Amino acid sequence: MNDQKNAFDLLRLLLAACVLITHGLLIGGYRLMDPLDYFSKGQTNLAEFGVMGFFALSGYLIAASFERADNIFIYAGHRALRILPGFWVCLLLTAFIFAPAIYVLSGRSLHDFNFTGNASSLSFVLNNIGLNIRQWGIKRVLDGAADQESLNGSLWSLYPEIQCYAFTLVAGLAGLFNKNRFLYLVVAVTFLVFFAVGFNFSGNYGPIIFVRSPAMKLYTAYIVGTLVLVFRDQLLLDKRGTMFTCVFTLLLLKFGGFRLISPLLIAIVLINLFQRFEIKMRYDISYGVYIYGFIVTQLLYAWIGSRLPFLLFIVLALVSSALMGLLSFLFVERPFMNARKTLDGCLRSKMYNWK
């Protein structure tokens, strides 16, 4: 499992890089087509593929985490300590370090920056501290930026992630991962049908109007990821099956049909491909790269604009985000992950044991 975990750390890092590339095109103001968007003829792009891949892999790993946990409090504590400290520190740094730096680099005085008040740094933190992003920017910080929609757009997906963790808890307690797993298959197929109709055909079909949102793609990818774990005897393929599935997916990307079942293909291909690797990674910087990539790229644009070739711009963004990811892992994420052992000792009690 350690080798698989390390390989999946690499996969998460690659997926974070995919998201950063697409965001770099947008934030840097480059009028270039996303490489995967071009290859797939508009079926998907690197950012969508990356985030859906994150959720598919998360579904697989978090369902496994649920199976290993002794009780619901240990499971919930592990999930909270993995997500929330890094998010809260990133939120503070975005509001009080990165945003003022962008403001000053854009040629304005720090004296005029809105640290408090309406649409300020303080309100940015208070409005978003619960993971559900309700304030996307800080007043006048992104004036003149190529992308003025969001200061740190990557953070929005963490709220659906936490919702998926809660779903895993409910589904696990209901026995959908073991004794009622065929009922879970029905749930997963239902989500896939809603996804296929909602995102691949024009018009509204009854309740489909309520699920045609970016979060629905993530929920579906997550559920399919858990499905791979629940039916691992059937869905974890041998080398030949993995290669066939990879080739089949590439053909659908190139010639059409990928979008119809993309959550299923992404989950099966990525999990099967990377569970075979034996790669040692000392530091898991993927989460930090993901949550800092957007704001680091905004800062980079405020500093140098679009004067650099796109590839060089992206390399600088990747290196800077990797540095932030390393700092986040070393000084925020790892200390809280280490604290999970202490938490386990406090919470491990027979009265809370579900097994």
Share of the chain above pLDDT 70, in %: 92
Region 279-306: mean pLDDT is: 93
pLDDT at residue 281, as a whole number: 82
Ramachandran area for residue 74 (φ above 0: left; ψ -120 to 50: alpha; else beta): alpha
The residue whose two tokens read 């730096």 is: 101
Distance, in Å, from the CA atom of 20 to the CA atom of 34, rounded to the nearest integer, reads: 11
Distance, in Å, from the CA atom of 213 to the CA atom of 195, rounded to the nearest integer, reads: 10
Banded model confidence at residue 55, pLDDT cuts 50, 70, 90? very high
pLDDT at residue 351, as a whole number: 47
> Is the model's pLDDT at 4 over the cut of 80?
no
Distance, in Å, from the CA atom of 178 to the CA atom of 75, rounded to the nearest integer, reads: 17
- Give the tens place of pLDDT for each residue, 269-287: 999 999 888 787 889 999 9
**Phi and psi, residue 188, nearest 5°:** -65, -45
pLDDT at residue 341, as a whole number: 76
Mean pLDDT estimate for the chain: 90
Per 3-state DSSP, the chain is made up of helix, strand and coil in percentages (nearest 5) of 75, 0, 25
Does residue 167 contact residue 191 with C-beta atoms inside 8 Å?
no
- Give me the number of domains the chain comprises: 1
pLDDT at residue 348, as a whole number: 65
Region 154-158: mean pLDDT is: 96
Range of the domain at 327: 2-352
**Phi and psi, residue 221, nearest 5°:** -60, -40
- Give the tens place of pLDDT for each residue, 15-44: 999 999 999 999 999 988 899 999 999 999
Alpha helices in the chain (DSSP H): 2-27, 35-39, 46-68, 72-93, 99-105, 121-128, 158-173, 181-200, 214-230, 232-235, 239-255, 262-274, 286-304, 310-328, 334-347
Banded model confidence at residue 1, pLDDT cuts 50, 70, 90? very low
Region 137-165: mean pLDDT is: 95
> Is the model's pLDDT at 145 over the cut of 70?
yes
Region 240-267: mean pLDDT is: 95
